[in-house]
Structure 1
């Protein structure tokens, strides 16, 4: 049976326990609430600074998440430390779990690392036409694991970021101007000077072909069955596709009108009757 002395003893113990740990609990709650508020504010300020620096939108959102996660983790550790929890053991557990997860998801983590490189160095952005990772088309989306590319036939190709970073990246939209290059062959019996003047006239009359740098036409090869011209013209990047195809069509039609032959591949065979 408990006597009055025992009741007083346990009540005193409870009061001491509550008084001792209530301050720790309130302190931990205060650290967590104020710390989380501060983490939000610091993250918002860092986001504004990144936006002012004209960083890529995807990089801004990714960096914002990382900054907030790190700050919130620090706040939680501080709150647990105030409660008297041994945070060193928790850090060790998180480290072991992180190592195991890292080994299990090494391919995914390599894609995340590649995404960070893409966002930092910006070899391309959404809307650019690129050739990367075995795919050619317009970039539709860039996330932490993959890049979505849409070819001209409106397919959707999802390429892992690590595969893109591991090989060459050709960006067709990076520059404001692109050069059209064609090899045009004429027959050996055709009028070379006429063909050259016709090619220059075609280039000069096309309004979408830039005057500077000036178009170029020159004999580049005396081939096996044709005299080959190198035809070069500069256009705005957005006009490249249409002008590239239209130019070939116009050259063929004009050559037909002028009687300038474009020979088929052929071989002359000489038979010795002896």
Structure 2
């Protein structure tokens, strides 16, 4: 076997394609580094210009993807690949992938609608898709929500746009609503005065609009009061839970009962 023949052949291919491969790798590595730096620079400029954070995060994804596409094309061109043909093949492949991933592209369209109409932004507390929490990120395909227990919930953008959205952060005030029941034998006036007193004693509850207490229903086993108190949005959950505890403890101290559903069963004795 003539080993020198194969050695010469290997050297020829190495000299012909080795430099191109090395150059393509260098272009890709340097190009990726430049893409990261340029994307970070543009993001910093947008942030300094006080552009909405949601738009900044969304634009960052688009800009980085565009830069990386140019880097890949430049690397392939260095290898001698006909980029014109590549773009045509890429377009055809994109069409085929698009047909297969219609749901994913609907998420991208939904992301554009979220950016344009801004029903919420990063940092807002919203309720959507059965989840309530703070919006921590909006990308091309999904929105990430962090509930109060610090879970990470990822919801497809199309599901958000196709459903109801409750935004708790676009108002500075929220109303805390509760319903409390007392027994029919209890002192109605005392119960009402107690509820008014509890609401007035909490400094987090705003004086304007004035807190509201009234009998809302004569139910089967209780007389129900409704309470409505306006608070700052940041104080909502604290007041919500504290009122439940305070009312129960105060009612117990003053001998006001809070009945619960019950059933009386009567039996007939037969001889």
TM beyond 0.5: yes
**Greater Rg over alpha carbons, structure:** 1
CA distance in 1: counterparts of 2:61 and 2:204, whole angstroms: 45
How far did 1:182 drift? 0.7
* Matched residue, 1:211: 207
CA distance in 1: counterparts of 2:111 and 2:179, whole angstroms: 39
Q: Name which of 105, 111, 117 aligns with 1:115.
A: 111
Question: What do residues 151-207 of structure 1 show as CA deviations (whole Å, max 9, x unaligned)?
Answer: 222221111111111111112222111111111011111111111111111111110
Q: Say whether the 8 Å CA contact 2:53–2:122 is kept in structure 1.
A: no
The 1:61–1:158 alpha-carbon spacing in structure 2 relative to 1, beyond 3 Å, is closer
Q: Say whether the 8 Å CA contact 2:212–2:227 is kept in structure 1.
A: yes
Within-5 A mapping of 1:41-120: 55-60=51-56, 62-63=58-59, 69=66, 95-120=91-116
CA distance in 1: counterparts of 2:226 and 2:52, whole angstroms: 40
Mind listing any 5+ residue stretches in structure 1 that lack a counterpart? Answer: 1-39, 77-84
Equivalent pairs, count = 219
Q: Is 1:134 matched with 2:140?
A: no
* Matched residue, 1:80: none
Q: Say whether the 8 Å CA contact 1:183–1:230 is kept in structure 2.
A: yes
Q: Say whether the 8 Å CA contact 2:125–2:134 is kept in structure 1.
A: yes
How far did 1:134 drift? 3.2
How far did 1:115 drift? 1.1
Q: Say whether the 8 Å CA contact 1:177–1:235 is kept in structure 2.
A: yes
The 1:188–1:148 alpha-carbon spacing in structure 2 relative to 1, beyond 3 Å, is same
Q: Is 1:165 matched with 2:161?
A: yes
How far did 1:56 drift? 2.5
Within-5 A mapping of 1:1-274: 55-60=51-56, 62-63=58-59, 69=66, 95-268=91-264
CA distance in 2: counterparts of 1:64 and 1:225, whole angstroms: 59
Q: What TM-score results when the alignment is normalised by the length of structure 2?
A: 0.68
How far did 1:105 drift? 2.7
Mind listing any 5+ residue stretches in structure 2 that lack a counterpart? Answer: 1-37, 74-81
Q: Say whether the 8 Å CA contact 1:225–1:267 is kept in structure 2.
A: no
Q: Say whether the 8 Å CA contact 1:58–1:143 is kept in structure 2.
A: no
